[in-house]
Amino acid sequence: MFLEACVLATTLCGFFGIVLKKNLVMKIVAMDVMSTGVIAYYVLIASRDGLFTPILDGDQTVAYADPVPQAVILTAIVIGFSIQALMLVAVMKLSRDNPTLESHEIEKNNTP
């Protein structure tokens, strides 16, 4: 129960960081924190049945961890890393035209 609360708190901190922060780099960091919370939740769910690697041998009495969420999470980590890199490149391009990375200043400068 305590681990679920910590994972939920991490996800909510990331969500509120995305909503409340005005700096674009801080929004990207908050999105990474939220992604980490979601990944931790899936790992927690996958290890609920057991903690051992699902390698079959003669002993069948051990509770194994489900390997499917683990494979999905590896894919999510790679996709999350590539999205984060793409967003950082977009912020770098945006910073060439604007002296600040505050979202309300950028919106004010680019509104016709």
56 within domain boundaries: yes
Contact criterion met (CB below 8 Å) for 36 and 14: yes
93 within domain boundaries: yes
109 within domain boundaries: no
20 within domain boundaries: yes
92 within domain boundaries: yes
Average pLDDT, the chain: 87
80 within domain boundaries: yes
Give the CATH number, domain containing residue 89.
1.10.287.3510
Q: Which residues contact 70 (CB under 8 A, 6 or more apart)?
A: 43, 46
pLDDT above 70 for 16: yes
Contact criterion met (CB below 8 Å) for 53 and 65: yes
27 within domain boundaries: yes
Higher pLDDT among residues 51 and 5, named by residue: 5
107 within domain boundaries: no
Higher pLDDT among residues 17 and 103, named by residue: 17
Residue type, 84: Q
Look up the domain containing 35 and give its range. Answer: 2-100
Domain count, the chain: 1
pLDDT above 70 for 59: no
